[in-house]
Amino acid sequence: MTRAVAEMERVARMFPDYADVLIPLGGFYMDQGDTNKAMALFAKLVSTSPDNPEVRYSYGLTLVFKGKIEQALHEFDAAIALDPNYNSAYYAAYYCLNQSGQHDRALGYIQRWVESHPNDTQAQQMLESARGRATRPPSGQPLPPPPQPNLP
């Protein structure tokens, strides 16, 4: 891993604004537990590539690790605004809020994703589970009543 990081840092020095290299480098920093390096890298990337949803999402993840929930949500929201189909940003915001005890607010992110992506059955199941209700069949009809036990 150290060698990979050194090589990516070399490439990053050659192409200091190339997000496709810098985003994985920030991920490597996070994997190594160096959130300060990752934070500095992603903060710089946000200033040079503010319209890149992956940059905003990655910076948001780093902010979560630093305990900066509201700032992280700002970055996840920016990623969503830039690319409404970027499901990782919705899920990250959901988990971030859910883990911080803000369940209703968290639910809003999954709900927005499901509303705009109704064919995502995994997200629908997650939403139903989070709401604490039984999953409904794809047709939207209520579940049939449970079968009666077949007792002698």
pLDDT reading at 6 higher than 90: no
43 CB-near residues (< 8 Å, 6+ apart) = 59
Tell me which residue of 66, 96, 95, 60 sits closest to 78, measured CA to CA. 60
How far the first Cα of the chain sits from its last, in Å, is 65
**Is residue 74 classed exposed, middle or buried when 0-12, 13-18 and 19+ CB atoms within 10 A define those classes?**
middle
Q: What is the pLDDT of residues 19-76, one digit of tens each?
A: 888 899 899 999 999 999 999 999 999 999 999 999 999 999 999 999 999 999 999 9
**64 vs 72: CA distance, rounded Å:** 6
Cα angle vertex 77, ends 75, 78, to 5°?
60
Taking only the tens place, the pLDDT of each residue in 69-113 is 999 999 999 999 999 999 999 999 999 999 999 988 999 999 999
**pTM higher than 0.95:** no
The pLDDT confidence band at residue 147, using thresholds 50, 70 and 90, is very low
